[in-house]
Amino acid sequence: MATFGRPRVLGRIVLLLAMILALVVGGIVWFDYLGLIDAKAFMAPAYRLLGVKTRTAAPARADSPALLEEERYAKRLESLSARSEELDARANGLDKRDSEVAQKAQELDDRGKAIDDQEKSFNDKVKQYDNRKANIDQNAQYLVGMPPAKAVDILKAMDDQTVIDLFHAVEERAKAAGESSLVSVWLAGMPPDRSATLQRKMAAKPSSLE
């Protein structure tokens, strides 16, 4: 009995498969016709076999909203790309300008420090000059108040430039007071060679304080 019923079952299975295949093919053809799917390449052999003309996709119209939107989108992308390149160029320019400004600021800072150092050195020299001039003036006053012989002994122990500065200070004090200078008296009391050397240096370089 089992052998007698087997052909019927196989027949039903084949029939069902054929119906399913027909429904699938029919659905593909119908969806392709409605434009829901594109099955032209898949169904072209069957269409040619049945003598049915294959449906081709209609070309997009120039004023199609989708085409216009794609064109706008492409132009927007192109504009954004150009804008991005412009911003990158500006950023690079700003970076370069910042580097140049930083370099110039450093140069100005270094120059300012150099000027400060020069000013400090100048002020130190002025201070040294003022101190030395004050000491020379004070010593000149002391020497003028001493007996000439004692003043000569002190002058002989000093270097030539200091003696010359003292002589000038004494002459300026005497000129301001309308008195005679003791410089000639002191020169006369010194050894001839030292006196000659001092007079020669005074003629060549009158004073280190001038």
E strand spans, 30-156 = none
Q: Between 33 and 99, where is the model more confident?
A: 99
pLDDT at 1 over 50: no
What is the spatial distance between Cα 81 and Cα 85, in angstroms, rounded to a whole number? 6
- Residue 48 has a pLDDT of 65
Cα distance between the two ends of the chain: 147
Q: Indicate whether 134 pLDDT > 90.
A: no
Q: Is the pLDDT of residue 7 over 80?
A: no
CB 209 within 8 A of CB 133: yes
| Whether residue 208 has pLDDT greater than 60 | no
Per-residue pLDDT of 53-105, as tens digits, reads 555 544 445 555 666 777 888 888 888 888 888 898 888 888 888 888 888 88
- Does residue 130 have a pLDDT over 90? no
Enter the tokens of residue 24. Answer: 């699938």
Taking all residues of the chain, what is their mean pLDDT, rounded to a whole number?
A: 79
| Cα Rg, the chain, nearest whole Å | 58
Name which residue leads in pLDDT, 1 or 65: 65
- Tell me the one-letter amino acid at 83: R
Which tens digit of pLDDT belongs to each residue from 138-189?
998 999 999 999 999 999 999 999 999 999 999 998 998 888 889 999 999 9
Compute the distance between CA of residue 132 and CA of residue 161 in angstroms, rounded to an integer: 12
CB 67, CB 73: distance < 8 Å: no
What pLDDT score was predicted for residue 43? 62
Of these ranges, 1-5, 29-33, 57-61, the one predicted with the greatest mean pLDDT is: 29-33
Mean predicted confidence (pLDDT) in 7-27: 81
